Amino acid sequence: MAVVIHQEEGLPIAEVEQATGIARATLRIWERRYGFPRPGRDARGERTYPQEQVRKLRRIAELMMHGYRPGRLVQLAPEELAGLDLPGAPTHAGRDPASSAAADPVLDPLHHHDPLALRHALEQRIRSSGLAGFVCQDMPRMNAVVGDAWSCGALEVFEEHMYTEAVQQLLRAHLAALPPARPGAPRVLLATLPEESHGLGLLMAQAMFMLEGWSCTSLGVRVPVGQVLAACQAMRPDVVGLSYTASANPAHVLRGLEQLRAELPQGMPLWCGGSSPVIARRRVPGVQYVAHVRDVVALSAPWRARLARITDSSPAA
């Protein structure tokens, strides 16, 4: 008989699904089959998951992407999970996530719950690195530090959300100040499919496309395939771009890419980037893998040349 912990504070199952990429139906199956996770119940009797369990689930999801079986993982302690290798993933030998987090100046305002100081720290990064440098160099590092801090318990979920919201607001403000795309500029349509709820990578891609002079339309996150296709038919973009995080279910990633590729016009490029390991390991025919957001610059080169020819041949040139 399952043990139920009553009135324990924690995250609702929908937020756990979003934070870990593990479907709520799977969480319930594991609860019955393995005895983990062990949610409490809120005042309405709904499942709530303590943060230490959510951290463990997030690590389990990461390990499953690299071939580990859930039946073994759920039995391990968090420190045992932390010691397992991720084949093909970057190694961080000798690094203590907690000490790395403590040394990062962006985390100090998060710990003090000071959004104004956080925005000031982020603005300082943009001034020192430039917008492109901020997106290509600072943000990937900051995202990793914040993620590590959350995983090791040095940040709460709401503090991680505070960081994401601050970065998104700041980046959108800077993008709004960029000049509009020139007539004849290439057009890109950006989105995530329904299984991906995180939009920070999408915003980073939007920034790089706009800095390269593209006309960029973002549909945001969790867009059904049919609506991406409808937008393509209405707007006729030159490229469709998708983003996936490491928490996305690998099977869902591949299925979504294959479906969209099959239904898009044959000549329309489909680019996909993000931190999901499966898009690097299992290439989908007809999908351009974008390993890093900075690669948008190199991939844009033919489009820049085309735009230059159009500009040179225009009567106003």
Q: How far is CA 67 from the centre of its chain?
A: 21
**Sequential pLDDT tens for the chain (317 residues):** 444 444 457 889 888 887 787 888 889 889 988 899 999 988 888 899 998 898 889 888 878 877 788 888 888 888 888 888 765 544 444 445 444 444 577 899 999 999 999 999 999 999 999 999 999 999 999 988 887 787 677 888 889 889 999 999 999 999 999 999 988 899 999 999 998 888 999 999 999 999 999 999 999 999 999 999 999 999 999 999 999 987 777 888 899 999 999 999 988 999 999 988 888 888 899 999 999 999 999 999 888 777 676 666 555 54
Helix (H, G, I), strand (E, B) or coil at 228: helix
Sorted by where each starts, the structural domains of the chain and their CATH numbers stand as: 5-82 (1.10.1660.10), 97-176 (1.10.1240), 187-313 (3.40.50.280)
Biggest CA-to-CA distance, the chain:
79
Residues 253, 256: Cα–Cα separation, whole Å: 5
Tell me 189's DSSP state. Answer: E
- pLDDT for 24: 83
Residues 148, 155: Cα–Cα separation, whole Å: 9
Q: How far is CA 129 from the centre of its chain?
A: 22
- pLDDT for 8: 52
Residues 317, 314: Cα–Cα separation, whole Å: 5
Tell me 91's DSSP state. Answer: P
Both tokens of residue 212? 């390269």
Q: How far is CA 114 from the centre of its chain?
A: 24
- pLDDT for 87: 58
Residue with the two structure tokens 């709520």: 24
Helix axes 225-235, 250-263, angle to 10 degrees: 30
Burial 86-117 (b: 16+ CB within 10 A, else e): eeeeeeeeeeebeebbeebebbebbeeeeeee
CB–CB of 240/188 below 8 Å?
Answer: yes
Contacts of residue 10, defined as CB under 8 A and 6 or more positions apart, other chains included, come to 39, 40, 48, 49, 50, 51, 53, 54
Give the neighbor-by-neighbor strand order of the sheet with 40-41. 5-6, 40-41, 47-49, 11-12
Of 40, 59, 70, 48, the C-alpha closest to 152 is 59
Q: What is the pTM of this model?
A: 0.75
Residue 254 Cα distances to 15, 82, 134, 259, angstroms: 23, 27, 30, 9
Residues 11, 261: Cα–Cα separation, whole Å: 36
CB–CB of 240/257 below 8 Å?
Answer: no
